[in-house]
């Protein structure tokens, strides 16, 4: 693809992005079994994801999903005094709806009653959509 096929506005935005000073420490990178963003480490555990601050040598929080953990780490890496209640709330929403979806999917597999199957399928679809919606809102903290 050459510059003739790109719009001039897009070329200008790309040049600004390439020439701007981007803080590389805010990009997540994998080191061993952990994800690191600046001085914050994310490790997967048996209960979810542990977010740990190496600068203060303390545990920040335990998150259910990786998206929430990365959103929390990036937010705190940018501003250590920022309010993270919304991220924790979204993580709890993901956890609740994910567990609901798993329960309803199990019901769809084991039930012989067509009415119960239809109800479980409807509830599964609702829980799945709510899980995806919460994850999309968490993605806004990352990107």
Q: Please tell me which residue, 50 or 2, carries the higher pLDDT value.
A: 50
Selected residue with higher pLDDT from 43 and 20:
43
- Has residue 138 been placed in a domain? yes
Spatial separation of the C-alpha atoms in residues 127 and 44, rounded to whole Å: 24
Q: Is residue 9 part of a domain?
A: no
Specify if 3 maps to a domain. Answer: no
Q: Is residue 70 part of a domain?
A: yes
pLDDT score at 78:
87
The answer to whether residue 59 is domain-embedded is yes
pLDDT band per the 50, 70, 90 thresholds, residue 89? very high
- How far, in Å, CA of 67 to CA of 94, rounded? 10
Residue 20 falls within a domain, yes or no? no
| Parent domain of 91 | 25-142
Asked if residue 23 has pLDDT above 70, the reply is: no
Which tens digits make up the pLDDT trace of 101-116?
Answer: 999 999 999 999 999 9
Number of domains in the chain: 1
pLDDT of residue 6: 74
- Say if 50 falls within a structural domain: yes
Task: Decide if 2 is inside a domain.
Answer: no
């Amino acid at each position: 693809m050459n510059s003739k096929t790109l719009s001039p506005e897009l070329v200008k935005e790309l040049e600004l992005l390439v020439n701007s000073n981007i803080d590389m420490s805010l990009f997540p990178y994998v080191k061993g079994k952990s994800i690191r963003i600046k001085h914050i480490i994310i490790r997967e555990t048996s209960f979810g994801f542990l977010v740990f601050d190496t600068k203060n040598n303390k545990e920040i929080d335990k998150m259910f999903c990786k998206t929430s953990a990365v959103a929390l780490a990036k937010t705190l890496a940018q501003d250590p005094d920022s309010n993270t209640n919304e991220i924790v709330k979204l993580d709890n929403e993901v956890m609740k709806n994910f567990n609901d979806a798993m329960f309803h999917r199990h019901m769809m597999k084991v039930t012989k009653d067509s009415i119960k199957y239809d109800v479980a399928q409807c509830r599964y679809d609702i829980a799945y959509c709510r899980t995806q919606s919460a994850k999309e809102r968490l993605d806004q903290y990352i990107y």
